[in-house]
Structure formats: structure tokens, C-alpha cells
Structure 1
């Protein structure tokens, strides 16, 4: 069976959004009530839901009190093993995947609600479904959309990376057509690792390499860009933004995504590119402090590169000057003397 492309998988997810809106029939009343009492909320999935402003939350509360909970809450029927719980791995568990705010309010206010059960093969499939579902909503802000698109890209990239680690002995064909032998250090240190990873679908399940025509091969960023109707560079910037937000504490991240505090997107993106940030950032002051530090470090690196390049140029001009001087001394011709003047002038330019 041919391997499904990312575009095909996303199309299936999109269709599943529509199917998920159809109410499922769920057993007897007693079994339904039992499921409701045992719904599990995963913070990892809850954090994918864009936070409501206080006014929006209060409006939802008022609406539920007046009209009840009309739309069913969506839950994922799975097992403990699928969500990495080792105890009783075969036990069935019901994980909430949509309606987190309604679930909280209905429990607090004792408002009845209905549920609808969906089946997914993995938590990654659930995450992708939830991201697509949230992006399909009209009230989502540009920052929230950027965050969700970035999460989607980073998830796809992580899946490809994991596949590479499982097949370390294989070579990947890089974008320039060269074979690259991958190991953990190569993937983490290579400057073009994004491009190499995205091209790595050239590795077949049997470990063989297939050289793909660059004109026919699309990167993950290109496919996601087409799917979400944005350009490839936007997807990559979204990925940096998502990585930056993930380095913040949940409270600060929630405030930014809810629009309660304002932080320049470029600062979060810069933080997202930083490698050595292991502790969560807990305040706006910390964000500013880390951003300034990263900016200074980046400037110093640029100065160092520029200085190294200039030293190399000075050395080259010096060698040229000494060579031209020797020739002028030996020949004493007008041509060589003029060449010496030119070489000396260029040497002075490099020094300045």
C-alpha cells in the first residue's frame, strides 16, 4: 500500500472535523453517565485550546445558564497504554478533546451535557485534529493561528526526526543532492538540518535511498503552507513562534495567547531559536532580559565573523602586495610599478 502524503493525511483530518460534528449514539443512559464521570483532561491537549478572554468566559457562562449545553463535548476513547500510562495498560479511558471550557462550567454549575466519542490511533492524530479544528473557527486571533500552525509543523518535523533515529544507518539525500549520513549529533548540529529532515521522506521503509527530483518534492513547510493558505516562510516563522511560546511558563503563554499582555512576536520567535533555555520563562521582564541577551550574543557573533573575514582579506591583500613589490623591484617596469601602487591602495582599504 502506498504511503500517504502529508497532504492526504491532512485532508482526512479535515474530513474528520465534519464527521465529528455528527452526534454519536452512545449505549445506555447509565453507561453514558459513567463515561461523563470518568472523563480525563490532559493538560497537553487542553493547552491546544486558545484561552478565552474573561469577557468571553463570562459570556459563555451566561449562555450555558440560560440555554444549557446544546453541543456535545467530544471525547477520545482510548487505552492507558496509548497515553503512556503503564498501570492497567488495556483499561479504556475517555480523554476530553473539545469543550474544555464548557466541561469546566457544566461541572461547576451542575448543567447537563451530552458527549460524543471519537476514535483516533494515537495522541499525535488527536493533536493534529484539534489543531485543524481550532484553526477552522472564526474567532481565532492571528497570534493563536500562528501558534497552532507552528505546533503542527513542529509535530510533523518531530515525527520525521524520530523515524530517522530509528533508521540511523541510512543515508539521507540532502537538498543539494549529496548523501548525508545521519546520527544524533548530525541532526542536532547541522545548519541545514531542517531542510535535510524535510527531504528525508526519500528513505523508504526498507531503508533504501531514493533520489527525488527537487522540482517534484515539496517540503513539510510548503505542504502546510498550501494547506493553510500561507507561504512557506510564514510556516517557518510560525514554528519559531510556537517553540518560543513553549519555552514560557503555561501562565505567561496563556496571557499572551489570550491577548491579555502584549509582547512583540519577533521577540518570541528569537527565543524560539535559542538552544540553551532549559528553565521556563515566568515573566515579561524575563522575556525582555533573555531577548536582549540573545540580541547582544548575535551581534557579537556577527562582529566575530566580520572580523575573521576582514583578517582574511587583509592577509590576502598583504600577500598580493608583497608579491607585486618583488616583481616591481626585479623588473622596475612602469607596468609593475603601477600594479604595485594599486596593490598598496587595496591593502590600505582592507586595513581601514
Structure 2
């Protein structure tokens, strides 16, 4: 009998059993034998395990005989897709695991030859795929697309910390899906090494802060700068309270910073310095008033 080979790339498609589930399965096999055949992919001279990893481990540890059933696939991508559908057929998936596998199927299907609909337009392919998957799983299209982001974020974590990815999928570490999705918008994410849960939460926090900062700059860029400039520099500011004046100056500073980064010219730098000086004068003026 050929020796069974385990490929880590395929094994990672399977969420492990909990300790309790593994213990119950182990007791059953030890007392009753391995009644269900292990599914293998015969490729060249190898028998690659595609289903029954836990049963194989238990049988190997306790020297218990097992049967195998060969399955035919044309490529490892076909094997992955079969394993994905097989996992989705399990009844004991928790909500996060189900979400992960739905997102994974969405990713796989989009990569295949036109997904469910063999059409030329990329937009049509994505729409058709999400719509048909939403019907298959009886969820909304937006849920399927959120699942995709959740899957991509978990795979991103798994690139440097597979154990942490599994802990999240197993429910040992609780994370909001929306928080994990934030990681996909992070800069320099390819250089990240996620060490542990604390490090992950920290990276999510700094990414949120960075996105909020960019949003603020973008919003201030949309302001009519001519009117805001006059308001900050003219006598009209005398009728505003201090907080309003400070917020106006803050807006100009953020806008000037953005302009300097974009244009990198002397005029932008001059405008930034001017607004910083105004901020300094406003703060000093406040201190003087408090003295009297």
C-alpha cells in the first residue's frame, strides 16, 4: 500500500476539530475502528490526503487499520475547490467558519473561468457570482462580499501567523469582522509580521487612525478654501468662539499639509507656516486672557 502524503497547503483548508470533538472521535475509532474511508488524490506515485486528516492521525497514533478511496482531479486547484465545498457541507461549522468558507468560495469562483457566468465584463462576473452564491447560501449579496473581506483578512493574518488565524476561526479569540477588514486598507501591509493577538489589535488601531486622518484631510480639501481663508484671516473670526476659531485654523493646517505633500512647493510650505503661526498666536492670546 502506498504511503499517504499530507500537503500543508491542502491541510490549511480544513478548520481543526476542537479538543472535545477530537477526543470523542478518537474514542469512537479506538473502540469501533475507522469505519469511514480516507479520501485521497492519486497523483503520480503519491496518495495525497484530501479528507480524513483527523482520522488518519488517530489511526496512525494507535496503529489502527483504515481504508482509502481514490478520487480523480485534474489539478490541485480542483482539489482545493472540492475540499472547500466539502467543508461547507459540514454541519458543525460556527458562524465565523461558515463566513470564512463562503468568502473563500467567492474568491475561488471569481478566479475560475468567468465564475458562474461566462461573460466578458469583470463587473458582470462579480455581480453574477455574488448573486448566485447569495441564493446558494440564502444570504444577501452584501453578506457574501463582506465574507470575502473577512476571508482575505484572515488569510493575510495566516501568512505570518497561522496559529492566530486558527484561533480566530475556532472562536478562541473574538474579533469583529469589520475590524479585521480594516487591515485590507493598511499601508505597508506586505511588510507586516503579526506576532500575537495584542499586536493584531494594535495594527488595527493604527490603521483606523491613519484612515481617519486621511478622511479628515480629504474632507477639508473639499471646502471652498477662498471663503475659509477669509474667515480665518478676517474680522469675522472675532464673532466666533475660541473653539470655532481653532477648528477653522486646524482645517487650514490639514489642507496645507496635504497640499505640501502633493505639490512639494514653496508656496504650500509658506501657507502651512502661516497657519501654524496663526495657531500659535491664537493659543498665546488665550493664555494672555487667562492671566487677566
Alignment partners' CA distance in 1, 2:229 and 2:177: 46
* Contact 2:41–2:50 (CA under 8 A) maintained in structure 1: yes
Q: Tell which deviates more after alignment, 292-301 or 221-230.
A: 221-230
Q: Which residue of 2 aligns with 1:52?
A: 17
Q: Compared with structure 1, are the counterparts of its residues 259 and 158 closer, same or farther at alpha carbon in structure 2 (3 Å cutoff)?
A: same
Alignment partners' CA distance in 1, 2:189 and 2:106: 21
User: Which structure dedicates a bigger proportion of its chain to helix?
Assistant: 2
After TM superposition, give the deviation of residue 159 of structure 1 in Å: 4.2
Alignment partners' CA distance in 2, 1:115 and 1:246: 31
- TM normalised by structure 2 equals 0.70
Q: 1:315 is matched with which residue: 222, 226, 234?
A: 226
Q: Which residue of 2 aligns with 1:141?
A: 94
Spell out, residue by residue over 1:271-319, the C-alpha distance to the aligned partner (whole angstroms, 9 max, x if none).
2444632244231011101100110011011101111011xx2437999
Q: 2:28 is matched with which residue: 40, 63, 68?
A: 63
Q: Which residue of 2 aligns with 1:234?
A: 143
Q: 2:217 is matched with which residue: 304, 315, 319?
A: 304
Does 2:220 align with 1:267?
no
Q: Compared with structure 1, are the counterparts of its residues 102 and 280 closer, same or farther at alpha carbon in structure 2 (3 Å cutoff)?
A: farther
Alignment partners' CA distance in 2, 1:243 and 1:153: 11
For 1:173-192, list aligned pairs within 5 A: none
SS in 2 for 1:76: strand
Which structure 1 segments of 5+ residues have no match? 1-33, 79-90, 164-197, 204-209, 320-350
Alignment partners' CA distance in 2, 1:232 and 1:103: 38
SS in 2 for 1:75: strand
For 1:137-216, list aligned pairs within 5 A: 137-159=90-112, 202-203=119-120
Q: Compared with structure 1, are the counterparts of its residues 199 and 106 closer, same or farther at alpha carbon in structure 2 (3 Å cutoff)?
A: closer
Q: Which residue of 2 aligns with 1:246?
A: 155
Aligned residues: 231
Q: 1:223 is matched with which residue: 122, 132, 137?
A: 132
Q: Compared with structure 1, are the counterparts of its residues 141 and 314 closer, same or farther at alpha carbon in structure 2 (3 Å cutoff)?
A: same
* Contact 1:244–1:273 (CA under 8 A) maintained in structure 2: no
Q: Compared with structure 1, are the counterparts of its residues 316 and 225 closer, same or farther at alpha carbon in structure 2 (3 Å cutoff)?
A: farther
For 1:90-105, list aligned pairs within 5 A: 91-105=44-58
Q: Compared with structure 1, are the counterparts of its residues 200 and 136 closer, same or farther at alpha carbon in structure 2 (3 Å cutoff)?
A: closer
Q: Compared with structure 1, are the counterparts of its residues 139 and 124 closer, same or farther at alpha carbon in structure 2 (3 Å cutoff)?
A: same
* Contact 1:75–1:117 (CA under 8 A) maintained in structure 2: yes
Q: Compared with structure 1, are the counterparts of its residues 232 and 93 closer, same or farther at alpha carbon in structure 2 (3 Å cutoff)?
A: same
Which structure 2 segments of 5+ residues have no match? 231-247, 250-292
Alignment partners' CA distance in 2, 1:302 and 1:200: 37
Higher relative contact order (CA 8 A, sep 6+): 1
Alignment partners' CA distance in 2, 1:159 and 1:109: 41
Alignment partners' CA distance in 2, 1:298 and 1:280: 20
Alignment partners' CA distance in 2, 1:157 and 1:115: 32
Spell out, residue by residue over 1:31-63, the C-alpha distance to the aligned partner (whole angstroms, 9 max, x if none).
xxx22x2x1111111111112111111111111
Q: Which residue of 1 aligns with 2:168?
A: 256
SS in 1 for 2:212: helix
For 1:32-43, list aligned pairs within 5 A: 34-35=1-2, 37=3, 39-43=4-8
Does 2:40 align with 1:75?
yes
